Amino acid sequence: MNELLVEDRGAVRILTMNRPEKRNALNTALTRALLEGLRAADAAESVACVLLTGAGQGFCAGADLSEFKDLTPEHRQRVEERAELTMQLQLAFSTMAKPVVTAINGAAMGGGAGLAIAADLAVMAESAKIGYPETRHGIVAAIVMANLVRQVGRKQAFELVALGEPIDAKQALALGMVNRVVPDRDLLSSALLVADKLSNVDARALRATKQLFHEVADLPLEEALLRGRELNKRMRAFHRA
C-alpha cells in the first residue's frame, strides 16, 4: 500500500496520509513520503496550493509507537536519523513557497497535531480532536512543541503538552489552532474551497507574503518593520514583469 496518496484537482494537490488501519500513524516510510510529497508539490509548476488530509477515520495518530523498539540509545544513528526526518517534516510547511491547507478529518495527536497546525490554514471537522498525549507515554512533545508555542498562548500551550488531554474542534478554534470548524460531511469541500481561493491569489504576492510572514513572526518590531520595508520596495516591480 502506498503510504501517501497524491491527487491533483486543478491547481490544488491533495496529499492523503494512507495508513487508515493505523490511524495514519507516522512511521518512517510515511514521514519520508510526506516530506518528499511536500517538496515535490512545491517544485511543481502546475501546483498552486497543497491540501493535506488523512484516509479513514483519523487525521494522524502521531508517531508509530511500534517503531520505538528500534529507537533506543543502542541504535544512536537510527535515533538521530528519525529525529532529523521528523524535524525536517515539521519545518517544511513554513519553508516551502506554496501555501498548505490541512483538512483535519479526525483525531490529530502528537506529531499529527504538529502536522495539523503547521499548515498555513487549517480546517477541522466538528467531531475531530487534537492533542499532545506524549507525557502519558512517558515521553515529550519535543519537536512539535516549537510550532505550538508560536501559535498558542504560553499557558494554553503548556497545559496541552503537560497534561496531554485532547481538546475538541471548538476549543481548537478558540485557541487559534485552526481557522474554521465545519460539519464532518463538509470538511473536504470546505478545505478545497479555501485551497482554491489561495490558488487564485497572485502567486508572487502570495509567495512573498508567506515568506515575510514567517520571517517577521518572531523578530523584534524594528527588525520586522525593516524586512517589511524592503519587501515593500521590491514588490513595486511585481506588475511590471
CATH of the domain at 107: 3.90.226.10
Residue type, 131: G
Q: Are residues 157 and 227 in the same domain?
A: no
Q: Are residues 129 and 225 in the same domain?
A: no
Over 70: is that where the pLDDT of 71 sits? no
Q: Are residues 157 and 230 in the same domain?
A: no
Task: State what percent of residues in the chain have pLDDT above 70.
Answer: 94
Q: Are residues 139 and 222 in the same domain?
A: no
For 115-140, what is the mean pLDDT?
96
Q: Which of 45, 126, 134, 230 is catalytic?
A: 134
Give the pLDDT band (50/70/90) at residue 123: very high
Q: Are residues 32 and 94 in the same domain?
A: yes
pLDDT for res 240: 54
Give the pLDDT band (50/70/90) at residue 80: confident
Angle between helices 203-216 and 221-234 (to 10 degrees): 160
Q: Is 230 one of the catalytic residues? A: no
Structural domain total, the chain: 2
CB-based contact 129:168 (threshold 8 Å)? yes
Sequence-distant (≥ 6) Cβ neighbours of residue 150 within 8 angstroms: 217, 218
For 220-235, what is the mean pLDDT?
89
Q: Are residues 108 and 208 in the same domain?
A: no
At 9, phi and psi to the nearest 5? Answer: -120, 95
Cell for 236?
Answer: 513595486
pLDDT for res 228: 92
Strands (E), 40-145: 49-54, 100-104, 108-109, 121-125, 129-131
pLDDT for res 94: 95
Name the pairing type of β-strands 121-125 and 180-182: parallel
- Taking alpha carbons only, the member of 118, 155, 122, 148 closest to residue 134 is 148
Structural domain harbouring 169: 4-199
CB-based contact 5:55 (threshold 8 Å)? yes
Q: Are residues 26 and 124 in the same domain?
A: yes
pLDDT for res 156: 97
Q: Are residues 151 and 216 in the same domain?
A: no
Q: Are residues 183 and 219 in the same domain?
A: no
Mean pLDDT over the full length of the chain: 93
Over 80: is that where the pLDDT of 239 sits? no
pLDDT for res 234: 84
For 11-25, what is the mean pLDDT?
97
Rounded to 5 degrees, what angle do the CA atoms 21, 23, 26 make? 110
Q: Are residues 9 and 115 in the same domain?
A: yes
Q: Are residues 222 and 150 in the same domain?
A: no
Q: Are residues 165 and 227 in the same domain?
A: no
CB-based contact 111:26 (threshold 8 Å)? yes
pLDDT for res 208: 94
Give the pLDDT band (50/70/90) at residue 126: very high
24: left (phi over 0), alpha (psi -120 to 50) or beta: left
CB-based contact 20:58 (threshold 8 Å)? yes
Over 90: is that where the pLDDT of 142 sits? yes
Give the pLDDT band (50/70/90) at residue 233: confident
Q: How far apart are CA 18 and CA 50, in angstroms?
A: 16
Residue type, 32: R
pLDDT for res 73: 66
